[in-house]
Chain A
């Protein structure tokens, strides 16, 4: 029997060990410093790019209809914003992309779980799904037009074909990377199949799933642009892709570059405002700060 005194000694040794042994928590740098570290370098790079562009234009290596000046592109963007056209165009495209992406998530999540957990399903369609990832989704546009006509259905079809494989594959990779001990622990703690999926499998696979979502968003956006550039009809309204297409038809290089700029802006903006912080929060909570 341990005497109370011995017990106290033990507690003291234990507390000492805890204090000595617990990993040190690195301090998070202040907000201003983080801004300096993350936002300033890309801004400088952008400014440099603009400078080079301006210089090339000033040197007049290429004719004006091939290389417009930064200011004329800016004028095209400003005009589109002022007339409200930019907002309409952005709204049309972004809401399509978001809707398509959310649908893709709803389809790809159960699909990914099935592939990851059911051996026959994996054998049957696992490699097909990875293969689909390397198929440019623009290849689906002609088929979509033949099947659905130049309608929104075609656009959503192409977006889904582009993003579902990425999301499902991300989830499969996430599940495959779960340490095998965790599901066993779950079983030992009394988790049934469904409870295990909800409380162990999905949270454990979250980093891979998020990576898949991020890529899935990029593919949605890209596929949408491909579909919008190729499939144009009055029925479809004017999205960013059609705006780009129109610029090209009008031989208006400023408008074309303005469209590319807006496409990039949306892609990068969603990545920076949504996925990057989400990924960071998830990885940081698990102590995986190496990549950040």
Chain B
């Protein structure tokens, strides 16, 4: 494995992001919805963490808070990384820009010069194996290719704006959920490869237990209404099928716990 984009700097900091007793409610008064209540979570630099939970349990809300797109009602979120990169379920590429220009966009917003932008965007496109497709428009790409361009663009926003050595953080909100099974399979492997090559930390949201176990070093289960961290599993040592079983059972318990309420 070679780190082509950033020196694999061993960070002395012990966390890329730390959430302490984060609460988030939407609306006011009687109609307010408590989406997250007392979430504590730490992601180490370069760590790959999957956030697992049923639909509507507050995964996207949590990710938006970390991304800074929304502010917590109370509690604190501390980031030691450069601006986190965000990837959504839809690629959301700018339809009027070519793939390469889409990747350049965050670099442009960060004020990079044209030559530097081109070079960096080229590197990132080759990283997601799309070096040949830079001149294409989003509508000329398949769903999987679009999602890879979105990945390259997200990486550009975190790596491109950082000074050398700052750890990156990539936030992904069910990025492969809308893809067909074969494409998803390939992209999962691509993501793991990119993660190893860039040594960026990843916080990956999914409702798919298999995906979580396959990708992450650590799986964090979130309860629903309000969202809280229920349990964590490490996937580093342990046999996969047993772990999947275990997590699935626990997830079912959490969900069926709501039937009575």
Give A contacts to B, CB under 8 Å: 1-2, 7, 10-11, 13-15, 17-18, 20-23, 25, 179, 181-182, 184-185, 187-191, 195, 199-200, 203-204, 206, 282, 285-287
Give B contacts to A, CB under 8 Å: 1, 67, 69, 83, 85-86, 88, 90, 92, 94-96, 105-106, 108-110, 129, 133, 137-145, 153, 157, 161, 182-183, 186, 189-190, 192-193
Q: How far is the CA of A28 from the CA of B163 in the complex (A)?
A: 46
Instruction: Give the residue of A17, A182, A187, A200 whose beta carbon is less than 8 angstroms from that of B144.
Output: A17
Closest chain-A Cβ to B216's Cβ sits at a distance in Å of 16
* The 10 A-B residue pairs with the shortest CB-CB distance in the complex, in nearest-first order: A287-B139, A21-B142, A188-B86, A189-B106, A286-B95, A181-B92, A189-B157, A185-B92, A22-B142, A14-B186
Contacts A13-B182, A17-B186, A204-B96 supplied; 7 other A-B pairs, CB < 8 Å: A2-B193, A13-B186, A18-B142, A23-B141, A188-B67, A189-B153, A287-B140
A204 and B83 form a contact (CB under 8 A): no
Name the residue in A2, A7, A10, A21 with the highest tally of chain B Cβ atoms < 10 Å from its Cβ: A21
Instruction: Give the residue of B1, B137, B153 whose beta carbon is less than 8 angstroms from that of A287.
Output: B137
Q: How far is the CA of A21 from the CA of B141 in the complex (A)?
A: 8
| Inter-chain contacts of B186 with A (CB < 8 A) | 10, 13-14, 17
| Inter-chain contacts of B129 with A (CB < 8 A) | 11, 14-15
Q: Given A10-B190, A285-B96, answer yes or no on A190-B144 (Cβ-Cβ < 8 Å).
A: no
Q: How far is the CA of A20 from the CA of B141 in the complex (A)?
A: 11
Q: How far is the CA of A179 from the CA of B143 in the complex (A)?
A: 18
| Inter-chain contacts of B95 with A (CB < 8 A) | 286-287
Q: Given A182-B94, A185-B88, answer yes or no on A22-B141 (Cβ-Cβ < 8 Å).
A: yes
Q: List 22 A-B contacts (CB under 8 A).
A: A2-B192, A10-B186, A10-B189, A11-B129, A13-B182, A14-B129, A17-B144, A18-B145, A21-B183, A22-B141, A23-B140, A184-B92, A185-B92, A188-B85, A188-B157, A190-B110, A191-B109, A199-B105, A199-B109, A203-B96, A285-B137, A287-B137
B83 and A190 form a contact (CB under 8 A): yes
A286 and B142 form a contact (CB under 8 A): no
Q: Given A11-B129, A203-B96, answer yes or no on A189-B193 (Cβ-Cβ < 8 Å).
A: no
| Inter-chain contacts of B83 with A (CB < 8 A) | 190
Instruction: Give the residue of B69, B138, B145, B153 whose beta carbon is less than 8 angstroms from that of A21.
Output: B145
Q: How far is the CA of A18 from the CA of B83 in the complex (A)?
A: 31
Q: How far is the CA of A199 from the CA of B157 in the complex (A)?
A: 15
A188 and B140 form a contact (CB under 8 A): no
Name the residue in A7, A22, A181 with the highest tally of chain B Cβ atoms < 10 Å from its Cβ: A22
Q: Given A14-B129, A14-B190, answer yes or no on A182-B140 (Cβ-Cβ < 8 Å).
A: no
Q: How far is the CA of A81 from the CA of B192 in the complex (A)?
A: 73
A23 and B142 form a contact (CB under 8 A): yes
Closest chain-A Cβ to B103's Cβ sits at a distance in Å of 11
Instruction: Give the residue of A11, A22, A184, A206 whose beta carbon is less than 8 angstroms from that of B69.
Output: A184
Instruction: Give the residue of B1, B144, B157 whose beta carbon is less than 8 angstroms from that of A18.
Output: B144
B193 and A7 form a contact (CB under 8 A): yes
Q: Given A10-B189, A14-B190, A286-B95, answer yes or no on A195-B145 (Cβ-Cβ < 8 Å).
A: no
Closest chain-A Cβ to B135's Cβ sits at a distance in Å of 12
Q: How far is the CA of A191 from the CA of B144 in the complex (A)?
A: 26
| Inter-chain contacts of B139 with A (CB < 8 A) | 23, 286-287
| Inter-chain contacts of A179 with B (CB < 8 A) | 92
Closest chain-B Cβ to A129's Cβ sits at a distance in Å of 26
| Inter-chain contacts of B140 with A (CB < 8 A) | 22-23, 25, 287
